[in-house]
Amino acid sequence: MPVPKRRTGKSKRNMRRSHHALTPPCLTECPSCGEKTMPHRVCPKCGHYKERLVIGGKSE
């Protein structure tokens, strides 16, 4: 079984890991209540999706 001949340097290791960073989630504004929500999902605060009531949201 092949084994590496030399130790991988810090620069090469870090270049390989450059794509491992996490990205923050994209948030959109709910058109009915203005709460920040994930796109293409029902708003957990008011229960609207695409400006129509889908589920009964929490009463304020």
Residues 6+ apart with CB under 8 A from 50: none
Token digits of residue 15: 């270049």
Please give the pLDDT value at position 54: 87
Let me know: does 18 contact 25? Beta carbons within 8 Å. no
Residue 46: is its pLDDT beyond 80? yes
Q: What share of the chain is helix, strand, coil (3-state, %, to 5)?
A: 15, 15, 70
pTM (2 d.p.)? 0.56
For the chain, the structural domain boundaries read: 25-60
Please give the pLDDT value at position 58: 55
Place of tokens 């390989």: 16
Residue 57: is its pLDDT beyond 80? no
Please give the pLDDT value at position 55: 83
